[in-house]
Amino acid sequence: MATRKQLRERWFEGAGRERLDALIAWLRAPGPQSTDDLPALLDGLPFRDEVPDGRDLRGMPGGFLKDVDLSGWDMSFSRDLFMADVDFTGGRLDGADLQDPLHGTFRGAGRYEP
């Protein structure tokens, strides 16, 4: 299992950096976003096989998520996340740094304070 440090650093090197660039473009696209596109955007992201169905955004280095369904996604150890109208039912937020989550659904989302 990858460490917190590895999960955060993976976004800044090689295939991880390419995935981050694609993710940023996806986040900046206008209108509500469909997570149906995310798995293909994340192909090649290191340690992704550790998360069921590859729903792996662990260690993501910040972002503003709005009008998106992230049910069942793992965003553990992510930093500086701003969320508005996000459905995160059944997701993971272990050790994540949330900045004022607004109008989200977080039923069953796992989270612990490190």
Structural Rg of the chain based on CA atoms: 13
Give the residue extent of every domain in the chain. 4-87
Residues 6+ apart with CB under 8 A from 108: 89, 90
The total number of residues shown for the chain amounts to: 114
Q: pLDDT of the chain along its 114 residues, tens only?
A: 999 999 999 999 999 999 999 998 888 888 767 788 889 999 999 999 999 899 999 999 988 888 888 889 999 999 888 877 788 888 898 888 877 655 555 555 565 443
∠ CA 25-66-105, nearest 5°, is 140
pTM of the model: 0.84
